Amino acid sequence: MFRAIGLLTIAIALFLGGVSAMADAGDFQVGVGKVVITPKKNMWMAGYASRTQPSDGKVHDLYAKALAIKDSEGNISVLVGSDVIGLPREMSQQVGETIEKKHGIPRERLMLTASHTHTGPAFRDNLRTMYKMDDGQWALVEEYSKELPLLLVEAIDKAIADLEPCKLYWGVGEAGFAKNRRKYTIGGVTNDYNPIGPVDHDVPVLKAVREDGSVKALSFGYACHNTTLGFYKFTGDYAGFAQEYLEKDFDGATAIFSAGCGGDQNPLPRRSLELAEKYGHELADAVKSVANSEMEEMKGPIKAQYREIDLPLSEPPTREELVEQTKSDNRYIQARAEALLPKFDEKGGLDTTYPYPIQIWDFTSGHRILALGGEAVVDYSLLFKHYLGEEKLWVIAYANDVMAYIPSLRVLREGGYEGAESMIYYGMYGPWAPQVESMIVGTVHDMVGKELDESP
Protein backbone atom coordinates (compact mmCIF):
# COMPACT_ATOMS: atom_id res chain seq x y z
CA MET A 1 0.00 0.00 0.00
CA PHE A 2 2.67 2.49 1.08
CA ARG A 3 4.76 1.36 -1.81
CA ALA A 4 1.85 2.01 -4.20
CA ILE A 5 1.35 5.49 -2.70
CA GLY A 6 5.07 6.08 -3.04
CA LEU A 7 4.92 5.24 -6.75
CA LEU A 8 1.80 7.38 -7.15
CA THR A 9 3.63 10.28 -5.50
CA ILE A 10 6.52 9.85 -7.89
CA ALA A 11 4.08 9.67 -10.81
CA ILE A 12 2.32 12.86 -9.64
CA ALA A 13 5.67 14.59 -9.12
CA LEU A 14 6.74 13.61 -12.66
CA PHE A 15 3.39 14.77 -14.02
CA LEU A 16 3.63 18.11 -12.19
CA GLY A 17 7.20 18.46 -13.39
CA GLY A 18 5.88 18.10 -16.90
CA VAL A 19 3.16 20.66 -16.24
CA SER A 20 5.60 23.20 -14.85
CA ALA A 21 7.88 22.69 -17.88
CA MET A 22 4.81 23.37 -20.01
CA ALA A 23 3.97 26.46 -17.97
CA ASP A 24 7.45 27.84 -18.68
CA ALA A 25 6.92 27.15 -22.36
CA GLY A 26 5.35 30.57 -22.79
CA ASP A 27 8.65 32.31 -22.08
CA PHE A 28 10.81 33.84 -24.74
CA GLN A 29 14.35 34.54 -25.76
CA VAL A 30 14.83 38.07 -27.02
CA GLY A 31 17.70 39.69 -28.90
CA VAL A 32 18.27 43.20 -30.20
CA GLY A 33 20.45 44.59 -32.98
CA LYS A 34 21.14 48.26 -33.65
CA VAL A 35 22.95 49.62 -36.69
CA VAL A 36 23.61 53.22 -37.79
CA ILE A 37 22.08 53.88 -41.21
CA THR A 38 22.83 57.60 -41.57
CA PRO A 39 24.07 58.17 -45.14
CA LYS A 40 27.84 58.77 -45.20
CA LYS A 41 27.48 61.42 -47.89
CA ASN A 42 25.04 64.30 -48.07
CA MET A 43 22.23 63.28 -50.41
CA TRP A 44 18.61 63.99 -51.36
CA MET A 45 16.11 63.70 -48.53
CA ALA A 46 12.77 61.94 -48.56
CA GLY A 47 9.18 63.11 -48.33
CA TYR A 48 8.94 66.68 -49.62
CA ALA A 49 8.63 67.87 -53.20
CA SER A 50 9.68 71.37 -52.18
CA ARG A 51 13.30 70.51 -51.39
CA THR A 52 15.84 72.05 -53.77
CA GLN A 53 19.15 70.70 -52.47
CA PRO A 54 20.67 67.64 -50.78
CA SER A 55 21.10 67.20 -47.01
CA ASP A 56 23.52 69.29 -44.98
CA GLY A 57 24.75 67.13 -42.09
CA LYS A 58 22.77 65.63 -39.23
CA VAL A 59 21.26 66.43 -35.86
CA HIS A 60 21.66 62.81 -34.71
CA ASP A 61 22.13 59.40 -36.32
CA LEU A 62 19.45 57.35 -38.04
CA TYR A 63 19.17 53.68 -37.05
CA ALA A 64 17.82 50.32 -38.10
CA LYS A 65 16.92 48.28 -35.02
CA ALA A 66 15.81 44.67 -34.86
CA LEU A 67 13.95 42.87 -32.09
CA ALA A 68 14.25 39.08 -32.41
CA ILE A 69 11.80 36.98 -30.38
CA LYS A 70 12.35 33.22 -30.13
CA ASP A 71 9.31 31.37 -28.80
CA SER A 72 8.97 28.01 -27.03
CA GLU A 73 8.53 26.21 -30.35
CA GLY A 74 11.91 27.51 -31.50
CA ASN A 75 10.49 29.91 -34.07
CA ILE A 76 12.20 33.27 -34.34
CA SER A 77 10.08 36.32 -35.23
CA VAL A 78 11.85 39.59 -36.00
CA LEU A 79 10.40 43.10 -35.81
CA VAL A 80 12.56 45.76 -37.49
CA GLY A 81 12.19 49.50 -36.95
CA SER A 82 14.02 51.96 -39.20
CA ASP A 83 14.43 55.75 -39.19
CA VAL A 84 13.42 56.12 -42.84
CA ILE A 85 10.41 57.25 -44.86
CA GLY A 86 9.28 53.65 -45.56
CA LEU A 87 10.82 50.57 -47.13
CA PRO A 88 9.87 49.90 -50.76
CA ARG A 89 8.61 46.45 -51.76
CA GLU A 90 11.75 45.40 -53.61
CA MET A 91 13.97 46.23 -50.64
CA SER A 92 11.75 44.32 -48.19
CA GLN A 93 11.69 41.33 -50.52
CA GLN A 94 15.47 41.36 -50.79
CA VAL A 95 15.89 41.49 -47.00
CA GLY A 96 13.23 38.78 -46.58
CA GLU A 97 14.94 36.41 -49.01
CA THR A 98 18.36 36.93 -47.42
CA ILE A 99 17.02 36.32 -43.90
CA GLU A 100 15.15 33.21 -45.01
CA LYS A 101 18.32 31.79 -46.59
CA LYS A 102 20.64 32.77 -43.73
CA HIS A 103 18.45 31.98 -40.73
CA GLY A 104 15.58 29.91 -42.07
CA ILE A 105 13.13 32.59 -40.91
CA PRO A 106 10.07 32.64 -43.20
CA ARG A 107 8.68 35.91 -44.55
CA GLU A 108 5.68 35.90 -42.19
CA ARG A 109 8.05 36.10 -39.23
CA LEU A 110 9.86 39.19 -40.49
CA MET A 111 8.03 42.48 -39.89
CA LEU A 112 9.80 45.41 -41.56
CA THR A 113 8.57 48.76 -40.27
CA ALA A 114 9.61 52.41 -40.52
CA SER A 115 9.26 55.68 -38.62
CA HIS A 116 8.27 57.68 -41.74
CA THR A 117 10.76 60.42 -40.88
CA HIS A 118 10.83 63.20 -43.50
CA THR A 119 14.38 64.12 -42.56
CA GLY A 120 15.90 60.86 -43.80
CA PRO A 121 17.36 59.74 -47.13
CA ALA A 122 15.37 59.35 -50.37
CA PHE A 123 15.19 55.90 -52.01
CA ARG A 124 14.89 54.50 -55.45
CA ASP A 125 11.32 53.15 -55.98
CA ASN A 126 9.64 55.42 -53.45
CA LEU A 127 7.95 58.75 -54.31
CA ARG A 128 10.12 58.86 -57.41
CA THR A 129 8.06 61.43 -59.29
CA MET A 130 8.26 63.79 -56.31
CA TYR A 131 11.94 64.67 -56.47
CA LYS A 132 13.63 67.03 -58.85
CA MET A 133 17.28 66.01 -58.71
CA ASP A 134 20.07 65.68 -61.24
CA ASP A 135 21.80 62.47 -62.35
CA GLY A 136 24.59 62.87 -59.81
CA GLN A 137 22.04 63.00 -57.00
CA TRP A 138 20.13 60.03 -58.43
CA ALA A 139 23.39 58.06 -58.42
CA LEU A 140 23.77 58.73 -54.66
CA VAL A 141 20.18 57.62 -54.10
CA GLU A 142 20.88 54.41 -56.06
CA GLU A 143 24.03 53.81 -54.01
CA TYR A 144 22.20 54.25 -50.70
CA SER A 145 19.31 52.08 -51.87
CA LYS A 146 21.82 49.26 -52.37
CA GLU A 147 23.46 49.84 -48.97
CA LEU A 148 20.35 49.99 -46.79
CA PRO A 149 19.15 46.36 -47.25
CA LEU A 150 22.60 45.14 -46.17
CA LEU A 151 22.40 47.30 -43.03
CA LEU A 152 18.92 45.96 -42.23
CA VAL A 153 20.26 42.40 -42.54
CA GLU A 154 23.18 43.33 -40.28
CA ALA A 155 20.76 44.59 -37.58
CA ILE A 156 18.75 41.34 -37.83
CA ASP A 157 21.90 39.18 -37.68
CA LYS A 158 22.97 41.02 -34.52
CA ALA A 159 19.55 40.55 -32.90
CA ILE A 160 19.57 36.80 -33.58
CA ALA A 161 23.10 36.46 -32.18
CA ASP A 162 21.97 38.34 -29.07
CA LEU A 163 19.07 36.07 -27.96
CA GLU A 164 18.78 35.57 -24.18
CA PRO A 165 15.92 34.50 -21.88
CA CYS A 166 13.45 37.34 -21.40
CA LYS A 167 9.88 38.01 -20.42
CA LEU A 168 7.67 40.09 -22.67
CA TYR A 169 5.07 42.56 -21.43
CA TRP A 170 2.29 44.52 -23.11
CA GLY A 171 0.70 47.87 -22.28
CA VAL A 172 -0.86 50.93 -23.89
CA GLY A 173 -0.20 54.58 -23.06
CA GLU A 174 -1.36 57.84 -24.55
CA ALA A 175 0.12 60.93 -26.22
CA GLY A 176 -1.88 63.82 -27.64
CA PHE A 177 0.26 65.66 -30.21
CA ALA A 178 -1.11 63.86 -33.31
CA LYS A 179 -3.72 66.05 -35.01
CA ASN A 180 -6.06 65.20 -37.87
CA ARG A 181 -4.75 67.09 -40.89
CA ARG A 182 -7.74 66.86 -43.26
CA LYS A 183 -9.60 70.14 -42.94
CA TYR A 184 -12.96 70.44 -44.68
CA THR A 185 -13.34 73.63 -46.72
CA ILE A 186 -15.78 74.76 -49.41
CA GLY A 187 -13.09 74.04 -51.99
CA GLY A 188 -12.56 70.47 -50.70
CA VAL A 189 -10.24 68.85 -48.15
CA THR A 190 -7.02 70.78 -47.48
CA ASN A 191 -3.93 69.89 -45.46
CA ASP A 192 -4.63 71.74 -42.23
CA TYR A 193 -5.68 71.08 -38.65
CA ASN A 194 -9.15 69.56 -38.33
CA PRO A 195 -10.14 69.62 -34.63
CA ILE A 196 -13.15 67.37 -35.25
CA GLY A 197 -11.34 64.80 -37.44
CA PRO A 198 -10.59 61.29 -36.05
CA VAL A 199 -7.33 60.63 -34.19
CA ASP A 200 -5.76 57.65 -32.42
CA HIS A 201 -3.69 58.73 -29.44
CA ASP A 202 -2.79 55.23 -28.19
CA VAL A 203 0.86 54.40 -27.60
CA PRO A 204 1.22 50.60 -27.69
CA VAL A 205 4.28 49.34 -25.80
CA LEU A 206 6.00 45.96 -25.82
CA LYS A 207 8.67 45.57 -23.14
CA ALA A 208 11.33 42.85 -22.98
CA VAL A 209 12.85 42.23 -19.54
CA ARG A 210 16.00 40.20 -18.86
CA GLU A 211 16.24 37.59 -16.12
CA ASP A 212 18.03 40.12 -13.88
CA GLY A 213 15.02 42.44 -14.15
CA SER A 214 16.64 45.03 -16.44
CA VAL A 215 14.80 46.30 -19.51
CA LYS A 216 16.26 44.95 -22.75
CA ALA A 217 13.89 46.46 -25.29
CA LEU A 218 10.99 48.88 -25.60
CA SER A 219 9.13 48.51 -28.87
CA PHE A 220 6.41 51.13 -29.36
CA GLY A 221 4.25 52.90 -31.90
CA TYR A 222 2.20 56.02 -32.55
CA ALA A 223 -0.22 56.97 -35.34
CA CYS A 224 1.20 60.27 -36.56
CA HIS A 225 3.29 61.52 -39.48
CA ASN A 226 6.90 61.94 -38.40
CA THR A 227 6.97 65.39 -39.97
CA THR A 228 7.71 67.98 -37.32
CA LEU A 229 10.80 68.90 -39.31
CA GLY A 230 11.30 69.67 -42.99
CA PHE A 231 14.83 71.06 -43.07
CA TYR A 232 18.10 69.74 -44.52
CA LYS A 233 19.63 67.88 -41.58
CA PHE A 234 19.18 64.13 -41.02
CA THR A 235 17.09 63.35 -37.93
CA GLY A 236 14.65 60.69 -36.80
CA ASP A 237 12.24 63.59 -35.99
CA TYR A 238 10.03 63.16 -32.88
CA ALA A 239 10.32 59.36 -33.11
CA GLY A 240 14.12 59.61 -33.25
CA PHE A 241 14.17 61.83 -30.17
CA ALA A 242 11.72 59.55 -28.32
CA GLN A 243 13.97 56.53 -28.97
CA GLU A 244 17.05 58.51 -27.90
CA TYR A 245 15.42 59.66 -24.62
CA LEU A 246 14.17 56.15 -23.78
CA GLU A 247 17.60 54.61 -24.37
CA LYS A 248 19.07 57.22 -21.98
CA ASP A 249 16.40 56.60 -19.32
CA PHE A 250 16.55 52.80 -19.53
CA ASP A 251 20.28 52.09 -19.52
CA GLY A 252 21.10 49.07 -21.67
CA ALA A 253 17.71 49.05 -23.42
CA THR A 254 17.05 49.40 -27.14
CA ALA A 255 14.03 51.53 -28.08
CA ILE A 256 12.34 50.72 -31.39
CA PHE A 257 9.63 52.86 -33.01
CA SER A 258 7.14 51.70 -35.64
CA ALA A 259 4.75 54.23 -37.21
CA GLY A 260 1.04 53.51 -36.88
CA CYS A 261 -1.95 54.50 -39.04
CA GLY A 262 -0.99 58.16 -39.20
CA GLY A 263 -1.55 58.73 -42.93
CA ASP A 264 -3.85 61.67 -42.18
CA GLN A 265 -2.23 62.78 -38.92
CA ASN A 266 0.40 65.47 -38.37
CA PRO A 267 2.28 66.65 -35.29
CA LEU A 268 0.87 70.18 -34.98
CA PRO A 269 2.16 72.83 -34.59
CA ARG A 270 5.43 71.89 -36.26
CA ARG A 271 8.62 72.99 -38.08
CA SER A 272 11.09 73.60 -35.27
CA LEU A 273 13.70 71.42 -33.62
CA GLU A 274 12.28 72.43 -30.22
CA LEU A 275 8.87 71.03 -31.19
CA ALA A 276 10.40 67.76 -32.47
CA GLU A 277 12.19 67.40 -29.12
CA LYS A 278 9.01 68.32 -27.22
CA TYR A 279 6.95 65.65 -29.04
CA GLY A 280 9.83 63.21 -28.57
CA HIS A 281 9.66 63.84 -24.82
CA GLU A 282 5.87 63.49 -24.82
CA LEU A 283 6.04 60.14 -26.60
CA ALA A 284 8.98 58.87 -24.52
CA ASP A 285 7.14 59.88 -21.31
CA ALA A 286 4.05 57.95 -22.47
CA VAL A 287 6.19 54.84 -23.08
CA LYS A 288 8.03 55.32 -19.79
CA SER A 289 4.87 55.55 -17.70
CA VAL A 290 3.59 52.31 -19.28
CA ALA A 291 6.96 50.57 -18.84
CA ASN A 292 7.13 51.61 -15.16
CA SER A 293 3.59 50.47 -14.39
CA GLU A 294 2.13 46.98 -14.14
CA MET A 295 1.99 45.44 -17.63
CA GLU A 296 0.34 42.27 -18.96
CA GLU A 297 2.71 39.36 -19.42
CA MET A 298 2.70 37.98 -22.97
CA LYS A 299 2.86 34.28 -23.74
CA GLY A 300 3.96 32.42 -26.84
CA PRO A 301 4.20 30.68 -29.15
CA ILE A 302 3.62 33.29 -31.84
CA LYS A 303 1.44 32.41 -34.81
CA ALA A 304 2.58 34.45 -37.82
CA GLN A 305 0.79 35.14 -41.09
CA TYR A 306 1.71 37.23 -44.13
CA ARG A 307 -0.50 37.77 -47.14
CA GLU A 308 -0.44 39.92 -50.21
CA ILE A 309 -3.77 40.85 -51.76
CA ASP A 310 -4.32 42.39 -55.19
CA LEU A 311 -5.59 45.81 -54.20
CA PRO A 312 -7.47 47.34 -57.14
CA LEU A 313 -6.88 50.76 -58.64
CA SER A 314 -9.52 52.82 -60.47
CA GLU A 315 -9.93 52.68 -64.28
CA PRO A 316 -6.52 52.95 -65.99
CA PRO A 317 -5.72 55.70 -68.51
CA THR A 318 -5.43 54.94 -72.24
CA ARG A 319 -2.10 55.37 -73.99
CA GLU A 320 -3.41 58.57 -75.57
CA GLU A 321 -4.31 59.95 -72.15
CA LEU A 322 -0.81 59.15 -70.87
CA VAL A 323 0.77 60.88 -73.87
CA GLU A 324 -1.45 63.90 -73.18
CA GLN A 325 -0.23 63.90 -69.55
CA THR A 326 3.42 64.08 -70.69
CA LYS A 327 2.57 67.58 -71.98
CA SER A 328 1.00 68.66 -68.65
CA ASP A 329 2.33 71.87 -67.13
CA ASN A 330 2.15 70.13 -63.74
CA ARG A 331 5.67 68.69 -63.54
CA TYR A 332 4.59 65.84 -61.24
CA ILE A 333 1.83 64.65 -63.58
CA GLN A 334 4.28 64.97 -66.45
CA ALA A 335 6.99 62.97 -64.61
CA ARG A 336 4.48 60.28 -63.67
CA ALA A 337 3.27 59.91 -67.27
CA GLU A 338 6.87 59.68 -68.50
CA ALA A 339 7.55 56.91 -66.01
CA LEU A 340 4.33 55.03 -66.83
CA LEU A 341 4.53 55.17 -70.65
CA PRO A 342 7.40 52.67 -71.03
CA LYS A 343 5.60 50.32 -68.63
CA PHE A 344 2.43 50.65 -70.69
CA ASP A 345 4.33 49.86 -73.89
CA GLU A 346 6.17 46.93 -72.37
CA LYS A 347 3.01 45.16 -71.20
CA GLY A 348 0.43 46.68 -73.54
CA GLY A 349 -1.29 48.29 -70.55
CA LEU A 350 -0.82 49.25 -66.91
CA ASP A 351 -1.16 47.02 -63.86
CA THR A 352 -4.62 47.63 -62.41
CA THR A 353 -3.86 46.06 -59.02
CA TYR A 354 -1.03 46.27 -56.49
CA PRO A 355 0.20 43.40 -54.25
CA TYR A 356 -0.66 44.84 -50.83
CA PRO A 357 0.96 43.24 -47.76
CA ILE A 358 -0.91 42.41 -44.55
CA GLN A 359 0.87 40.69 -41.67
CA ILE A 360 -0.40 39.41 -38.34
CA TRP A 361 1.40 38.03 -35.28
CA ASP A 362 -0.83 36.34 -32.74
CA PHE A 363 0.58 35.60 -29.29
CA THR A 364 -0.99 32.75 -27.33
CA SER A 365 -1.83 35.28 -24.60
CA GLY A 366 -4.24 36.95 -27.05
CA HIS A 367 -1.98 39.91 -27.85
CA ARG A 368 -1.94 40.70 -31.54
CA ILE A 369 0.22 42.85 -33.83
CA LEU A 370 -1.35 43.76 -37.17
CA ALA A 371 1.02 45.32 -39.71
CA LEU A 372 -0.41 47.02 -42.77
CA GLY A 373 1.51 48.26 -45.79
CA GLY A 374 1.36 51.83 -47.06
CA GLU A 375 0.37 55.10 -45.48
CA ALA A 376 -2.84 53.81 -43.91
CA VAL A 377 -5.10 56.56 -42.55
CA VAL A 378 -6.23 56.56 -38.93
CA ASP A 379 -9.64 55.06 -39.78
CA TYR A 380 -7.91 51.67 -40.14
CA SER A 381 -6.55 51.49 -36.60
CA LEU A 382 -9.86 52.74 -35.20
CA LEU A 383 -11.81 50.25 -37.34
CA PHE A 384 -9.67 47.27 -36.37
CA LYS A 385 -9.72 48.18 -32.67
CA HIS A 386 -13.51 48.37 -32.94
CA TYR A 387 -13.76 45.03 -34.77
CA LEU A 388 -11.07 43.07 -32.95
CA GLY A 389 -10.95 44.66 -29.49
CA GLU A 390 -8.61 47.46 -28.55
CA GLU A 391 -7.09 46.00 -25.38
CA LYS A 392 -4.69 43.59 -27.02
CA LEU A 393 -4.30 44.95 -30.56
CA TRP A 394 -1.40 47.00 -31.91
CA VAL A 395 -1.89 48.28 -35.47
CA ILE A 396 1.30 49.21 -37.33
CA ALA A 397 1.28 50.83 -40.81
CA TYR A 398 4.13 51.67 -43.25
CA ALA A 399 5.09 47.99 -42.88
CA ASN A 400 6.85 45.81 -45.47
CA ASP A 401 6.10 48.20 -48.36
CA VAL A 402 5.11 51.85 -48.66
CA MET A 403 3.61 52.06 -52.13
CA ALA A 404 1.02 54.82 -51.57
CA TYR A 405 -1.48 56.25 -49.11
CA ILE A 406 -4.17 53.77 -48.07
CA PRO A 407 -7.40 55.73 -47.68
CA SER A 408 -10.49 54.37 -46.00
CA LEU A 409 -13.66 54.47 -48.11
CA ARG A 410 -14.56 57.73 -46.35
CA VAL A 411 -11.22 59.38 -47.16
CA LEU A 412 -11.27 58.01 -50.73
CA ARG A 413 -14.71 59.56 -51.27
CA GLU A 414 -13.70 62.86 -49.72
CA GLY A 415 -10.60 63.03 -51.96
CA GLY A 416 -7.86 65.52 -51.10
CA TYR A 417 -4.20 64.56 -50.67
CA GLU A 418 -4.56 61.17 -48.92
CA GLY A 419 -7.59 60.16 -51.00
CA ALA A 420 -6.33 61.11 -54.45
CA GLU A 421 -3.56 63.67 -55.10
CA SER A 422 -0.75 61.80 -53.33
CA MET A 423 -1.03 59.00 -55.91
CA ILE A 424 0.72 61.33 -58.38
CA TYR A 425 3.86 61.47 -56.21
CA TYR A 426 3.80 57.71 -55.73
CA GLY A 427 3.71 57.27 -59.51
CA MET A 428 0.33 55.49 -59.45
CA TYR A 429 -1.95 56.36 -62.36
CA GLY A 430 -5.07 57.08 -60.32
CA PRO A 431 -6.87 56.66 -57.02
CA TRP A 432 -7.61 53.25 -55.49
CA ALA A 433 -10.90 51.57 -56.33
CA PRO A 434 -13.73 51.94 -53.76
CA GLN A 435 -13.47 48.30 -52.54
CA VAL A 436 -10.00 48.85 -51.02
CA GLU A 437 -11.25 49.24 -47.44
CA SER A 438 -13.62 46.25 -47.60
CA MET A 439 -10.87 44.07 -49.09
CA ILE A 440 -8.36 44.96 -46.37
CA VAL A 441 -10.92 44.58 -43.57
CA GLY A 442 -12.20 41.32 -45.07
CA THR A 443 -8.71 39.86 -45.42
CA VAL A 444 -7.78 40.69 -41.83
CA HIS A 445 -10.99 39.03 -40.61
CA ASP A 446 -10.21 35.98 -42.70
CA MET A 447 -6.67 35.82 -41.32
CA VAL A 448 -7.84 35.98 -37.70
CA GLY A 449 -10.59 33.45 -38.38
CA LYS A 450 -13.48 35.74 -37.61
CA GLU A 451 -16.58 36.30 -39.70
CA LEU A 452 -17.06 39.94 -40.63
CA ASP A 453 -20.70 39.88 -39.53
CA GLU A 454 -19.61 38.70 -36.04
CA SER A 455 -18.01 42.10 -35.59
CA PRO A 456 -17.70 43.94 -33.41
Residue (108 or 375) nearer to Zn ion, CB: 375
Closest CA to 325 of 309, 340, 310: 340
Residue (182 or 288) nearer to Zn ion, CB: 182
Residue (295 or 406) nearer to Zn ion, CB: 406
Q: How far is CA 163 from CA 31, 68, 126, 315, 351, in A?
A: 4, 7, 33, 49, 43
Shortest CB 158 distance to Zn ion, Å: 29
Residue (180 or 254) nearer to Zn ion, CB: 180
Shortest CB 77 distance to Zn ion, Å: 27
Q: What gap in Å lies between CA 5 and CA 11, rounded to an integer?
A: 10
| Residue with nearest beta carbon to Zn ion | 375
In the range 172-201, which residues lie near Zn ion by CB under 5 A?
Answer: none
Residue (96 or 374) nearer to Zn ion, CB: 374
Residue (107 or 225) nearer to Zn ion, CB: 225
Residue (29 or 266) nearer to Zn ion, CB: 266
CB atoms within 10 A of CB 142: 12
Residue (166 or 395) nearer to Zn ion, CB: 395
Quick note: the x/- pattern for Zn ion over 296-335, rule CB under 5 A, is ----------------------------------------
Burial of 180 (0-12, 13-18, 19+ CB in 10 A): buried
Q: What gap in Å lies between CA 170 and CA 172, rounded to an integer?
A: 7
Identify which range of 235-243, 342-350, 372-380, 431-439 contacts Zn ion by CB under 5 A: 372-380
DSSP three-state, residue 194: coil
Shortest CB 371 distance to Zn ion, Å: 17
Shortest CB 96 distance to Zn ion, Å: 23
Shortest CB 47 distance to Zn ion, Å: 7
Shortest CB 423 distance to Zn ion, Å: 13
Shortest CB 214 distance to Zn ion, Å: 36
Helix, strand, coil: what percent of the chain each, to 5?
Answer: 35, 25, 35
In the range 373-392, which residues lie near Zn ion by CB under 5 A?
Answer: 375
Instruction: Report the amino acid identity of residue 425.
Output: Y
DSSP three-state, residue 241: helix
Q: For 50, how many CA atoms within 13 A lie in the half-sphere containing its CB?
A: 5
Identify which range of 75-83, 339-347, 369-377, 438-446 contacts Zn ion by CB under 5 A: 369-377
Residue (237 or 375) nearer to Zn ion, CB: 375
Shortest CB 116 distance to Zn ion, Å: 6
Identify which range of 146-154, 243-251, 358-366, 367-375 contacts Zn ion by CB under 5 A: 367-375
Identify which range of 200-208, 212-220, 371-379, 409-417 contacts Zn ion by CB under 5 A: 371-379
Q: What gap in Å lies between CA 445 and CA 6, rounded to an integer?
A: 52
Q: How many residues form the binding site for Zn ion (CB under 5 A)? A: 1
Q: What gap in Å lies between CA 332 and CA 199, rounded to an integer?
A: 30
Shortest CB 179 distance to Zn ion, Å: 14
Shortest CB 225 distance to Zn ion, Å: 5
Residue (157 or 237) nearer to Zn ion, CB: 237
CB atoms within 10 A of CB 218: 27
Identify which range of 87-95, 172-180, 368-376, 430-438 contacts Zn ion by CB under 5 A: 368-376
Shortest CB 298 distance to Zn ion, Å: 30
Residue (209 or 420) nearer to Zn ion, CB: 420
Instruction: Give the interface with Zn ion as residue ranges (CB under 5 A).
Output: 375
